[in-house]
Amino acid sequence: MFSVEARVTGRAQKGFRTGRAAPHFPSITQLHTHTSPEQPEAARHPDLPRVIRLLEEPVSSSLKERHIFALKKVVKRCQTGFLLKDLADLFRILNICAERSKDHPEYAPVLCDLLHICRLPFLKEKASDEPNYASVVTDSLSQLGLFMRVPDCKIREQISTSIISLYSTDKARQYDGVCPISLGYRQELVECSGLAETLTMSLALLENQLPAKHQVLRALQMLSSSSFNCSLILKAEGAQKICFHMNEPDPSGQVLFRSSEILWNLLENGSREEVTSQLSNMDCIMFLKEAFLHHLLDGYRHYDQQLRNDLLVIITLIAENPSAPLIESGFAKQLILFVTFPELKSHNPLIRKLKLAFTNEDFEMKKLLLNLVVVLSRDLSAVQLFKESRVMLALMLLVRPSSSDSRPSGKGRRSWTPVQQEELQLQALATLATVAPLMIEEYISCQANVCLLMLLEWCTQQDGYFGQGHAFHGAGGRGGKKAQMRYCVRLLRCMTSLSNNIINQDLCDQGAISQLLGLLRRFQEREEEEDAVCVEIQTDVLLTLTTLCEEDMHRKELFGSEGVEMVIRYLKMNPAQLQSGLGHNRLFASTVDCVWSCIVGCYLTEDLFLEKEGAFLLLDFLHLSPRSMKGVLLGTLLELCDNPKTLAHVTAWRGEKELTAPALLLQMWRQEEAELGVKRDQHSRITDVKKPILTRYQEEEPLVSVPANTPSSAVIDVSENLRSKIYALFLRLGFQDLQGLTAEDYITLSIVSRYLDFKIGEVWAEISAELELEGVRPITPDAEALRTIIQASEDTAKHVCSLQQSILGQQEQEELKEEKRAYEEMSLNRKQHELTMKSRQHYIAKTSDYEILKESKRLQERSIESSRPKDRPEGFIFHSTQIHGLQTTNFYSRVVTIESTPAALTGGPLANTDLALERVPIQGGALRKVNPTNAEHELPNSVTVK
């Protein structure tokens, strides 16, 4: 027996002898590696370069049987997967087979077998193989997607199956010497290879190959879970292409199901704007319309209902795109018609055919349709469809209070459950807050105000109602009627904010003001802790009252004392609650707005407000509130100051550390100028006389020429900060005889008093600059007048600067005088302390040294003698002060007896009067008065004075 190699060699020798060049035949015997049975199977991979030479060289290119035999050997030896280092050769073989399978179908089964092995994770021999062969793997996977060009259905199906397995499966065996690559590495390289884009583009090739289409859609469904793959699919206009093929005939229904899932993934993980843009064309809308109506009208399975709801969500997201032709296609009209079912009857054939089982899926569809109404309301052309389909009436039927009692209207007729009815009621209220302002006539014709006030009254009744809804709109209101109250009040606020006289007058005629005040009183009397929903309800009620009472004296009188009392309670709110995060800051702002609109302007309510110290409360909050709220507080105070009684309250107010209202306003002025970047020195004085009140924002804004009817930056500045309101308040308070001001306050006050002059000069300076910018030269008198005005503003600023300098000088003099007074007081205190110490030391010396005591006695006698008058005028009586009978100098105690004034002078009968009896011990102590007795007069150590 001769081997194949010998036969090939013999043929070559015969060719040489006949004179022809001996062709080179590759030896195929080396495809069989000589391995022992003990060797691992993964080590017995064939020599792929030799197979490539067998397939490509011209001599062996026609040997199909050998090609198939060699390829089958490759399939057999690679059942565990392909090595990373062999991928380049392997995919070269696959490309050759793919090209030859077009003309030779014999290659297709082998190609399919090789692609089937590609489902397995590729194998690596070293840990460094993954980064080293990353580019090779990426190119190979890219070529794997390009094999979709082969028209064979099984090959296309196998390609999709292999991609799915590579991207998801992570159950690979470990072999000796090799191990599979990780799942994360595979997924990353699949994304980099662009397989998602290739599969999307291949959908056009699968019109008549339903199994392959199923697998491709399955693969795209899996790949679309990645945002990177979603961008690739959208790059290939995948959303539009998938929508085009979603309604193709398919008994199993997988095409529509997987198509909708892919669109879902694209909306969630990709660019929603790009998806809706691709689906916003007439063809896509018609395909979606066909699919939705089919499952709505003909679907009866739970699967059909779920798919119908999924399609409705996609349609809703498309409706958010203004360019989507939902109305032009007629689809929007049909959807709006479904919104009113089953509340309204219709003779439309679609409604006649529609049947609801009131299941959870039907309930979800009803909520999605209500949400679609909100989305479509952004297009005014859809509002006309709402009117034609009587959407307002259907929503009001859902809202009415009796709808909460879910009772079937007919015998055996099914309806929504109480829980579902409650959620629909809340969502209908939320929908009306958006739709009702667009349909005012329909709102009035349905008597919606009466319905809402009845609903609000039902919300305040204690009838044991227990809310059971779990939906988004029921958040914070479970277990009661708080959620219904929240959305009812919100709807009333939206309607009153339209300032429609008919709606607002109708509400007032129905007693809305007293009803809303009663609702606020109930909240104020509650002992429960407030939450965000309660605060929101109160805020909306206050805003509704503000809109109703604004600029209407009769309604302000209806607001009356009850409203004033309610507002006072809110103004007594703890300022710390403004930072609670529950919305108390909005509640306080709406309260101040309510004061401005419901109290200010009516002297009756103003007087009540002032009697209850309302002005004091506003000033307290003005002192403690953040800057964002100071504007409305100042505006309210400014309007309230039109009442002459208010000024006395403002003047009498005292804040912390005896802060007065003028001092507070001047402090706010300095804070405002610091925020605006106005140039001031350390003493708040003017530093630039040409720009005394110019802000940093005005300087940074480029000078442009604006039309005459457009306000300039200097005019806009008046309304954008608090300085104009502070100036207006000082115009009412006056600029003289203000209490509690410091020197810095007087410096600031000098600027405030000239604010209007500075602002006028600033406006004229802008006019001059604009004229110069436009190249316009005023006539000589106008130019002279313009220069005079600007110069007058500068002179005013200079005068204010000199005034500020004099105020500062006076302050320095006062500080110097105060310092001198303090120094003198300290010096006197020091001297007194020294004298006290000397006296103490002298006293101690007298008690311890007898000579010093005698010297003190002599000095005392000398002093007494020197104080006696030398001349004795006639007619005067002089009493002797000489002490006689000094028996001892013991000073432990002494008894002194003083002869009283003679009776001849006083006219009294007494000859002698004991005035005092005093014992003074050496240790000191208080004097005591004792009764004089004979025994005491006879004490040995005593002194008697007569």
Average pLDDT of span 649-661: 92
Identify the pLDDT of residue 828: 92
Tell me: the pLDDT tens digits for 255-276? Answer: 999 999 999 999 999 999 999 9
Identify the pLDDT of residue 476: 67
Average pLDDT of span 330-335: 93
Residues 565, 486: one domain? Answer: no
Residues 482, 519: one domain? Answer: no
Looking at every residue in the chain, the average pLDDT score rounds to 83
- In eight-state DSSP terms, residue 683 is T
* Interacting residues of 855 by C-beta distance below 8 A, sequence separation 6+: none
Identify the pLDDT of residue 638: 93
Give the predicted TM-score (pTM) of the model: 0.75
| Closest of 173, 170, 197 to residue 185, by C-alpha | 170
Instruction: Pull the structure tokens for residue 287.
Output: 């395909």
Please tell me the distance from the alpha carbon of residue 517 to that of residue 563, in angstroms, as a whole number: 7
Residue 342, preceding peptide bond in cis (omega within 30° of 0): yes
Identify the pLDDT of residue 174: 66
Between residues 925 and 63, the one the model is more confident about: 63
Instruction: Pull the structure tokens for residue 914.
Output: 């004991």
| Closest of 320, 300, 319, 410 to residue 361, by C-alpha | 300
Average pLDDT of span 6-19: 34
Tell me: the pLDDT tens digits for 352-366? Answer: 888 888 899 999 999
With 0-12 / 13-18 / 19 or more C-beta atoms within 10 angstroms meaning exposed / middle / buried, residue 137 is buried
Contact predicate 742/810, CB 8 Å? no
Residues 572, 687: one domain? Answer: no
Please tell me the distance from the alpha carbon of residue 630 to that of residue 721, in angstroms, as a whole number: 10
Between residues 275 and 481, the one the model is more confident about: 275
Identify the pLDDT of residue 327: 93
- CATH number of the CATH domain containing 516: 1.25.40
892 pLDDT band (50/70/90 cuts)?
Answer: very low
Please tell me the distance from the alpha carbon of residue 344 to that of residue 338, in angstroms, as a whole number: 10
Identify the pLDDT of residue 159: 92
Number of domains in the chain: 4
Residue 28 lies in a domain: no
Residue by residue, DSSP assigns 522-536 as HHHH--SPP-HHHHH
Identify the pLDDT of residue 895: 47
* Interacting residues of 902 by C-beta distance below 8 A, sequence separation 6+: none
Residues 180, 85: one domain? Answer: yes
Straight-line distance from the first to the last Cα atom of the chain, in angstroms, rounded to the nearest whole number = 176
Angle at 246 (CA atoms; ends 241, 248), nearest 5 degrees: 115
Whole-angstrom CA distances from 584 to 516, 575, 577 are 19, 9, 6
Instruction: Pull the structure tokens for residue 826.
Output: 């300290």
Please tell me the distance from the alpha carbon of residue 311 to that of residue 316, in angstroms, as a whole number: 9
Residues 527, 495: one domain? Answer: no
Please tell me the distance from the alpha carbon of residue 596 to that of residue 615, in angstroms, as a whole number: 12
Residues 612, 483: one domain? Answer: no
3 pLDDT band (50/70/90 cuts)?
Answer: very low
Over 80: is that where the pLDDT of 177 sits?
no
172 pLDDT band (50/70/90 cuts)?
Answer: low
Residues 497, 516: one domain? Answer: no
Tell me: the pLDDT tens digits for 857-884? Answer: 888 888 888 887 776 666 666 666 555 5
Instruction: From 799, 824, 849, give the residue that closes a domain.
Output: 824
919 pLDDT band (50/70/90 cuts)?
Answer: very low
Instruction: From 824, 852, 872, give the residue that closes a domain.
Output: 824
Identify the pLDDT of residue 32: 36
Q: Which of 825-839, 851-865, 886-900, 932-946: highest mean pLDDT?
A: 825-839
Q: Which helix (H) or strand (E) holds 724?
A: helix 723-733
Residues 483, 524: one domain? Answer: no
Identify the pLDDT of residue 746: 93
Q: Which of 3-17, 32-46, 362-376, 890-904: highest mean pLDDT?
A: 362-376
Local structure of 175: helix, strand or coil: strand
Identify the pLDDT of residue 646: 93
b/e map of 648-682 (b: 16 or more CB within 10 Å)?
ebbeebebeeeebbbbbbbebbbebbeebebebee
| Closest of 522, 444, 509 to residue 481, by C-alpha | 522
Residue 575 lies in a domain: yes
Average pLDDT of span 619-636: 90
Residue 603 lies in a domain: yes
Please tell me the number of Cα atoms within 13 Å of 504 on its side-chain side.
18
* Interacting residues of 787 by C-beta distance below 8 A, sequence separation 6+: none
Q: What is the CA radius of gyration of the chain?
A: 52
* Interacting residues of 104 by C-beta distance below 8 A, sequence separation 6+: 64
179 pLDDT band (50/70/90 cuts)?
Answer: confident
471 pLDDT band (50/70/90 cuts)?
Answer: low
Identify the pLDDT of residue 653: 94
Q: Which of 80-89, 695-704, 923-932 has the lowest mean pLDDT?
A: 923-932
β-pair partners for 123:
83, 180
Residue 380 lies in a domain: no
Average pLDDT of span 193-204: 92
Average pLDDT of span 371-396: 94
Residues 74, 100: one domain? Answer: yes
Average pLDDT of span 122-131: 86
Identify the pLDDT of residue 448: 94
Q: What percent of the chain has pLDDT over 70?
A: 83
Tell me: the pLDDT tens digits for 50-99? Answer: 878 787 777 766 776 787 888 888 888 888 888 888 888 888 888 888 88
Tell me: the pLDDT tens digits for 552-584? Answer: 899 999 999 999 999 999 998 887 787 777 888
Residue 829 lies in a domain: no
| Closest of 615, 626, 609 to residue 567, by C-alpha | 609
Residues 642, 517: one domain? Answer: yes
Please tell me the distance from the alpha carbon of residue 180 to that of residue 818, in angstroms, as a whole number: 91
Q: What are phi and psi of 179, to 5 degrees?
A: -150, 155
Over 80: is that where the pLDDT of 291 sits?
yes
With the CA atoms of 600, 602, 605 and 611 taken in that order, what torsion angle do they form, in degrees rounded to the nearest 10?
A: 70
Identify the pLDDT of residue 121: 86
Please tell me the number of Cα atoms within 13 Å of 481 on its side-chain side.
16
Identify the pLDDT of residue 798: 92
Residue 130 lies in a domain: yes
With 0-12 / 13-18 / 19 or more C-beta atoms within 10 angstroms meaning exposed / middle / buried, residue 541 is buried
Residue 175 lies in a domain: yes
Angle, helix 627-640 to helix 584-594, in steps of 10 degrees: 20
Over 90: is that where the pLDDT of 897 sits?
no
Tell me: the pLDDT tens digits for 755-804? Answer: 999 999 999 988 888 888 888 888 888 889 989 998 998 999 999 999 98
Strands 179-180 and 123-124: antiparallel
Identify the pLDDT of residue 89: 85
Residues 534, 681: one domain? Answer: no
The residue behind tokens 């060009």 is: 149
Please tell me the distance from the alpha carbon of residue 844 to that of residue 5, in angstroms, as a whole number: 141
Instruction: From 618, 652, 686, give the residue that closes a domain.
Output: 652
Tell me: the pLDDT tens digits for 16-44? Answer: 333 333 333 333 333 333 333 334 444 45
Angle, helix 584-594 to helix 532-549, in steps of 10 degrees: 20
Residue by residue, DSSP assigns 874-913 as TT----------------S------PPPPHHHH--S-S--
Residues 777, 674: one domain? Answer: yes
Residue 597 lies in a domain: yes
Please tell me the distance from the alpha carbon of residue 591 to that of residue 563, in angstroms, as a whole number: 11
Over 70: is that where the pLDDT of 467 sits?
no
Please tell me the distance from the alpha carbon of residue 485 to that of residue 7, in angstroms, as a whole number: 99
Instruction: Pull the structure tokens for residue 842.
Output: 């002298």
Identify the pLDDT of residue 516: 95
Containing structural domain, residue 543: 511-652
Whole-angstrom CA distances from 726 to 92, 116, 648, 711 are 84, 83, 17, 21
β-pair partners for 654:
660
* Interacting residues of 236 by C-beta distance below 8 A, sequence separation 6+: 197, 200, 201
Identify the pLDDT of residue 411: 47
Identify the pLDDT of residue 170: 67
Identify the pLDDT of residue 69: 83
